[in-house]
Structure formats: C-alpha cells, structure tokens
Amino acid sequence: MDSQPVRFIEGAGSMHEPEGRGRLAALLARELGTDCGLIAPEMPDADNPHYQPWRDRIEQELESIDEEVILIGHSFGGSVLLNYLAEGSYPKPVRGLFLVSVPN
C-alpha cells in the first residue's frame, strides 16, 4: 500500500525562517511517520498572502491526488482551505480535515 496522502497548508509567513511555519510541518512529518505522504507545498507570497493565489495553489496541489486525502490547515492556510472546500469544486473524497488556529 502506498503512503496516505497528507497535505499541510501553512499559515502566513515564511516556512524557512528559524521560527517559521516549517517547524509545524517538520513536527507533523516526524509524528505522522513514514506511512504518511506529508507534503507542505510552498504557498505564493507567504509574507503577504491573498486568498485567490493560495486557493489556486491548493487546487493545483490536490489535482494530482486520486485517493482520499487528509488535509491539515494552519491559520490563514486553514481558512483558505476551508473556503476552497466550501466552494464545492473539489470532487474527490477527503478522509480527514484538521484545522489549527484558523481565524474567523
């Protein structure tokens, strides 16, 4: 069996700074282990985020997945992920949706 696809959509800000969002992605990868295909895609203009480019990047990332996916969204990334799914344009099954510190 292939690994379970997991996509982590970061919050705003650089993933590459010492205290950046990459720490959460690294923690998730470590805790989920090798059975999960965790990918944290680089989001466009993370220091000055806007809905449409992030929405488009999420859609692009999910197009290649043909099986159930687990989605994790943090902060701004979680709100974009939730809005994208609420649009109803993603036709594939979602195995799990986890939102962390999502603004209203």
At 54, which helix (H) or strand (E)? helix 51-63
**What pLDDT is recorded for position 20?**
60
**What pLDDT is recorded for position 1?**
47
Q: What is the pLDDT of residues 70-90, one digit of tens each?
A: 999 999 999 999 999 999 989
Q: What is the pLDDT of residues 2-12, one digit of tens each?
A: 789 999 999 99
Q: What is the pLDDT of residues 43-70, one digit of tens each?
A: 999 999 999 999 999 999 999 899 999 9
Q: Considering only CA atoms, which of 39, 78, 83 is closest in space to residue 62?
A: 39
**Domain range list for the chain:** 11-92
- Quote the pTM value: 0.89
